[in-house]
Amino acid sequence: MLQLAWLLLAFPAAGALINTFLGSRFSKPTIGWIASGTVAASFVVSLGLLLGLLGLPGEERVITLPLWDWITIGDFRAPTALLIDPLSVTMALVVTGVGALIHVYAIGYMFDDERFQRFFVYLNFFVFAMLILVMSDNFLGMYVGWEGVGLASYLLIGFWFDKRDDTYGYYADAGKKAFLVNRVGDFGMALAIMILWTSLGSVTFLDVFQAAPASLSSGVATAIALLLLLAATGKSAQIPLYVWLPDAMAGPTPVSALIHAATMVTAGIYMIARTHVLWELGPSAANLAAWIGGLTALMAASIALVQVDLKKILAYSTISQLGYMVMGVGVGAYAFGIFHLITHAFFKALLFLAAGNVMHGLHGELDIRKMGGLREKMPTTYRLFLIGALALAGFPLMSGFFSKDGILLNVFGHSPLLYAIGLFTALLTAVYSFRAVFVPFWGQPRDKHLHEHAHESPPIMTRPLWVLAILAIVGGVLNLPFVLTLERWLEPAVGEPSFHPSLALEVSLLLVSAVVALAGIYLAYARYVKEIGWARRLQNALGPLQPLVEHKYYVDEFYDAAIVQPLKALARWFAEVFDPGIIDGSVHLIGRANLAAGERLRRLHNGLVPTYALSIFVGVVVLVMYLVFG
């Protein structure tokens, strides 16, 4: 079975190729089901790999499947090979499982789009690239997937490449921004790979991790980890490179769910967990990662509180939740980072797709200030969204509750201050999640016309969501406290947990988390449903901060003024002044001098001026050279 692992990648690749070349002959449902079917087939292969690994004793669950030699120059060797281990198989299950559901949903969501065929080709290509990312057995292969998903993301954000609106500007520009910001991160990964090869002579994960502890100084390891951190902040939308993700919501909603919430953006967390050996050798980089994660979580959650666009709330929520994951892997809780990655994939995909149903039912409207009372019009979507919000808020016993608490527990062992930040963010999370439930779905309709035309979505757009909803509820069993299945399962790939809390600590923090989640939900209830006076006054007290938060702390503006505009000004000066004026100007000066000399010579010889000038020049030089060296 394990020998057939390459089928995992072959299915979505085949789907993309078939739909590219033959899609124009197929009907829309055929195209959609081919695309979904290939991803579902990959999911089956992933299940097979899971069973295959489970049949082996723990220490043998790391298998390399070589495919071909990719690049060989001298001592440099980069193979094309798959690494089948608990971590990669877990990621493959999430990618193909959640991916297949979203593909099915998209058949309904995109049905009326004129570029339906192209959409599914891109979606299949994305799954293919993402599987390369998580299955490669070496850094360079991971880099292929890393940039491949970037291309898919670029194409899908700018899918409606001719559209523009006030929120995003031209959608195509949002796609371009995503690709370029990610390239800044990729710069880090490319350099990290160069350092790794120069220091250790290999780019294969297993070789590197085996050799690193003995032959990598902590300085070099820290440098590598910092570069990898840069890469992670790009792909996983952390400070300072998170700015592309909110704009990425210009893409169709299934894309937001699949790529910009459930899978691609988690690549950074996967990568850190995968390279954990390097982070353990460079602990200061890991510590920085933890703080970046914590601060990103806090900052993004605060922005999510004031957004009025349903998808943007979810986008900032995604940044914030990714912050938790980065914080988790930063403090060495790799298994919990992956655990939260999985539960987040369930509930955030659910939330996005439910938001897609809202958007679908309201003809593209996403401003929550215009909604209200939607639960009567869209009861199923409401229930689905509520389940997602409960999981996101960390409502006790929902999947998100366990995974977030696991991270917070480990952060507590690392730094109580960072824990406090994480806990406060959890409070904000509960508030904004339920603001997104109460404002659109409860109360009275705010826009009568919009409300009258609102409708529930067809079954193809609700049934896949029930699967996600169930997973969002029960996903916590993957790693029940005191049973620790996921942690133990991932051990061969990410090592043993470094932090062993006492039972008392574990239980008390669990209780604190539960109280905080409930308090946050109540806060949202008091403010947005009951409109109780103190809740309003609390918000008014924070009023002075509101413009700052609404403008997302002016980070986009800062980058534009500090980096983009100066670079463009420099480029313009180069292109319009320096290159034609100074460089080419000097060339012309030399040319004119030669021509002037030629004018005088022409009186002696009639002929082609430059030729004569040159032959004389050559003659003189030959003479000089001969005299010097002869």
Partner 1 sequence: MVPPMLLSILIFLPLLGGVAVALLPGDGAKKQAALAITLLTFLLSLLLLVGWEEGQAGMQFVEDVAWIPDLNIRYHLGVDGISLWLVLLTTLLMPIAVAFSNRYVHRSVGAFMALMLVMEAAIIGVFLALDLVLFYVFWEFSLIPMYFLVGKWGSENRVYAALKFFLYTLAGSALMLVAILALYIQTGTFNVLELQAVDLPLGLQQWIFLAFALAFAVKVPLFPLHTWLPDAHVQAPTAGSVILAGVLLKMGTYGYLRFALPIFPQATVQYSALIGILALIGILYAALVALMQKDIKSLVAYSSVAHLGFVMLGIFALNEQGMSGAVLQMVNHGLSTGALFLLVGMLYERRHTRLLSEFGGLWKSIPVYCFFFLVVAMSSAGLPGLNGFVGEFTILLGAYASRPLFAVIGTSGIILAAWYLLTAFRKVAQGPITKPENEKLPDLSRSEVAMLAPVVILFFVIGLFPNLFLDKINPSVEALAQRPAIQMALQARDEPWLGSVSLEHIALQQESTP
Q: Which residues pair with 79 in a beta bridge?
A: 69
CB 97, min distance to partner 1, A? 25
H helix or E strand, kind and range, residue 395 = none
Smaller CB separation from partner 1, 148 or 356? 148
- Residues in contact with partner 1, counted by CB under 8 A, come to a total of 67
Binding mask 217-256 for partner 1 (x = CB under 8 A): x---------------------------------------
CB 367, min distance to partner 1, A? 24
Q: Does 215 bind partner 1 (CB under 8 A)?
A: yes
Residues between 32 and 91 that touch partner 1 (CB under 8 A): 68-76
When binding is defined by CB under 8 A, the residue of 65, 144, 460, 601 that contacts partner 1 is 144
CB 274, min distance to partner 1, A? 17
When binding is defined by CB under 8 A, the residue of 1, 183, 459, 562 that contacts partner 1 is 183
H helix or E strand, kind and range, residue 461 = none
Smaller CB separation from partner 1, 140 or 310? 140
Distance CA 203, CA 278 (A): 13
Q: Does 151 bind partner 1 (CB under 8 A)?
A: yes
344: left (phi over 0), alpha (psi -120 to 50) or beta: alpha
Interface stretch with partner 1, choices 168-176, 289-297, 366-374, 545-553 (CB under 8 A): 168-176
For residue 178 the two structure tokens come to 């995503």
H helix or E strand, kind and range, residue 67 = strand 63-73
Q: Which residues pair with 136 in a beta bridge?
A: 82
Triad 310, 316, 322: Cα angle to 5°: 135
For residue 436 the two structure tokens come to 């997104």
Distance CA 136, CA 424 (A): 38
Smaller CB separation from partner 1, 29 or 581? 581
E strands, 354-498, where? none
When binding is defined by CB under 8 A, the residue of 7, 167, 173, 445 that contacts partner 1 is 173
Q: Does 610 bind partner 1 (CB under 8 A)?
A: yes
Q: Other CB atoms closer than 10 Å to residue 214's CB: what's the count?
A: 7
CB 358, min distance to partner 1, A? 27
Looking at this protein, which amino acid is placed at residue 100? A
Smaller CB separation from partner 1, 125 or 401? 125
Smaller CB separation from partner 1, 72 or 284? 72
Smaller CB separation from partner 1, 184 or 601? 184
Smaller CB separation from partner 1, 442 or 559? 559
Q: Does 184 bind partner 1 (CB under 8 A)?
A: yes
When binding is defined by CB under 8 A, the residue of 27, 198, 540, 565 that contacts partner 1 is 198
81 CB burial (10 A radius; 0-12, 13-18, 19+):
buried
CA distances in angstroms from 153 to 4, 257, 370, 603, listed in the order given: 28, 12, 30, 68
Nearby residues of 311 by Cβ (< 8 Å), 6 or more positions away: 249, 253, 256, 352, 355, 359, 366
Q: Assess contact for 357 and 457: CB atoms under 8 A.
A: yes
Distance CA 377, CA 443 (A): 12
Looking at this protein, which amino acid is placed at residue 287? N
CB 395, min distance to partner 1, A? 42
Smaller CB separation from partner 1, 44 or 194? 194
Smaller CB separation from partner 1, 164 or 446? 164
CB 457, min distance to partner 1, A? 28
Smaller CB separation from partner 1, 175 or 394? 175
**Residue 345's closest CA among 108, 152, 96, 562?**
96
Smaller CB separation from partner 1, 561 or 571? 571
H helix or E strand, kind and range, residue 70 = strand 63-73
Residues between 572 and 591 that touch partner 1 (CB under 8 A): 572, 574-576, 579-580, 583-584, 587, 591
**Which residue bears the tokens 């009907």?**
27
Smaller CB separation from partner 1, 59 or 162? 162
Q: Please give the full DSSP string across 191-208, using - where no structure is assigned.
A: HHHHHHHHHHS--BHHHH
Q: Does 195 bind partner 1 (CB under 8 A)?
A: yes
Distance CA 30, CA 28 (A): 5
Q: Which residues pair with 367 in a beta bridge?
A: 309
For residue 440 the two structure tokens come to 């659109």
Q: Does 616 bind partner 1 (CB under 8 A)?
A: no
CB 80, min distance to partner 1, A? 8
CB 269, min distance to partner 1, A? 21
The dihedral over CA atoms of 529, 296, 136, 214, expressed in degrees to the nearest 10, equals: -140
Q: Does 482 bind partner 1 (CB under 8 A)?
A: no
Binding mask 540-569 for partner 1 (x = CB under 8 A): ---------------------------xx-
CB 73, min distance to partner 1, A? 5
Triad 326, 331, 336: Cα angle to 5°: 65
**Residue 274's closest CA among 483, 494, 454?**
494
When binding is defined by CB under 8 A, the residue of 6, 33, 187, 559 that contacts partner 1 is 187
When binding is defined by CB under 8 A, the residue of 59, 112, 162, 166 that contacts partner 1 is 162
Nearby residues of 432 by Cβ (< 8 Å), 6 or more positions away: 301, 304, 305, 313, 317, 524
CB 215, min distance to partner 1, A? 5
Residues that bind partner 1 (CB under 8 A): 68-76, 140, 143-144, 146-148, 151, 154, 158, 161-162, 164, 170, 172-173, 176, 179-180, 183-184, 186-187, 190-191, 193-195, 197-199, 215-217, 567-568, 570-572, 574-576, 579-580, 583-584, 587, 591, 610, 614, 617-618, 621-622, 625-626, 628-630
